[in-house]
Amino acid sequence: MNDPWTDQLSEYLDDELPADDRASLESHLRVCVACTTALADLKRVAVRARALTDRDPAADLWPGIAERIGSATPSSGVPAVRLMRRSGRRWSFSVPELAAACVALMVLSGGAAWLLHPGQVPLAVAPARAPQAGVVSIPASARAGSVGYDGAVADLERVLTEGRGRLDTATVRVIVRNLAAIDSAIAQAQRAVSADSANLYLNSHLAATRRQKLELLRQAASLVSAVS
C-alpha cells in the first residue's frame, strides 16, 4: 500500500513532517484505519529496533587483536592506514631493521645466484672455489643456508609480525598461507637434501625455495612499511 499518506508515516513518527503536512495527515489518520494501523506497526518496529540487545561474539576475539597490535605503540594523530604510496622499487625501506635485512638480502641474492647454476659457476658463495672433479663439495656455510639468510629471514619476520596489524585480515591470511606453502616446500627439499647431500639439483632447489621465502617476506614487509 504505497499511497501518499502511508509514505509520510515514518517522517510523521520521527517528528520530521512540516507543520501543514502534519495537520493534514492527522486529519486523515482520524478516518483511516489502515493508516492508523500502519503507524502503530511502524512505531513498534522502531521501538523493537531500539530494544535490540547486543551480543558478544561466540569466540573471544581478543587474542587475535592482541597479536596484531603486538607491542607497537599507537601512533599519535596520524592516520594509520594511508593510501599505499610506493616509495620506489624494491629497495626502499623506512624501518632500520628492514634496511639491515635488505642489505643481507642483496648479498644473499648474489650468493644464491651462484647456487642456482650448478655446473656453470662454483658452488661456493665465495667465488674462488671450483668443485673438484667427481666430487661435489658444498661449503658448510652455503649448505646451512648461512647465518646471513637466517638473519635476514628473522629480521623480516619480526617486521611482519610487529606490523601485521596494519594490514587487513584477508591480506595477512594470504601472506601467511603462502609463507606456509613455501615453508612446506623448504622442509621437503631439506629432507631430500639430507638424504642426498651431494645432489646439485636438490641443493640448488632448496636455495631457490629459500630465496622465494625471502622474496615473499620482503614483499610483505614492504607492504607493512607502505601503510605506516
Partner 1 sequence: MTPSTSGVATLRQEQVGRSDSDAVDATLAASGDASAFERLYRAHIGRIHSLVRRMMSDQEADDVAQDVFVRAWQKLGSFRGESAFGTWLHRLAVNVILVRRETLGIRRQRHHEGDAMLEMVPARRAQVELNMDFETAIEQLPDGARQIFVLHDVEGYRHEEIADMLGVAAGTSKSQLHRARMALRRHLDR
Partner 2 sequence: MLLTVAITLGTLALAGQVDTTLPVQPGQRLEVNTFGGEINVKSWARNAVRVQADPSSRTQVVVSVSGSTVSVHTEGRRGPASAVDLNITAPAWMGLDLSGVYADVTVEGARGPITVETVQGEVDVTGGEGNVSLSSVQGSVRLRGGKGRIEVHSVNEDVTVLESSGEIRAEAVNGEVSLEKVDATSLDATTVNGDVKYDGPIHDGGRYALSSHNGDITLAVAPGANAAVSVSTYGGEFESEFPVTITQGRKGKRFDFTLGKGGAQVELESFQGTIRLVRPGSSALHGDRDDHD
Sign of CA pseudo-dihedral 177, 181, 182, 188: positive
Q: Smaller CB distance to partner 2: residue 29 or 192?
A: 192
Asked if residue 75 binds partner 2 (CB under 8 A), the reply is: no
If the CB atoms of residues 154 and 216 are measured against partner 2, the closer one turns out to be: 216
Task: By CB under 8 A, tell whether 7 contacts partner 2.
Answer: no
* CA triple 166-167-170, angle to 5 deg: 150
What nine digits make up the cell of 96?
632500520
Gap between the Cα atoms of 164 and 70, Å rounded: 9
| Nearer of residues 31 and 170 to partner 1, judged by Cβ | 170
- Give the interface segment with partner 1, choosing from 71-79, 105-113, 140-148, 204-212 (CB under 8 A): 71-79
Closest CA to 116 of 185, 198, 201, 204: 204
Q: Considering the rule CB under 8 A, would residue 119 count as an interface residue with partner 1?
A: no
Q: Which stretch binds partner 1 (CB under 8 A): 50-58, 99-107, 114-122, 126-134?
A: 50-58
- The option from partner 2, partner 1, none interacting with 9 (CB < 5 to 8 A, set by class) reads partner 1
Instruction: Quote the CA–CA distance of 147 and 108 in Å, as a whole number.
Output: 10
Residues that bind partner 1 (CB under 8 A): 6-7, 9-11, 16, 38, 41-42, 44-46, 48-50, 52-59, 61-62, 64-66, 68-69, 71, 73-81, 165-166, 168-170, 173-174
Residue ranges that bind partner 2, judged by CB under 8 A: 79, 81, 83-86, 170-171, 174-175, 177-178, 181-182, 185, 188-189, 192, 196, 199-202, 205, 208-209, 212, 215-216, 219, 223, 227
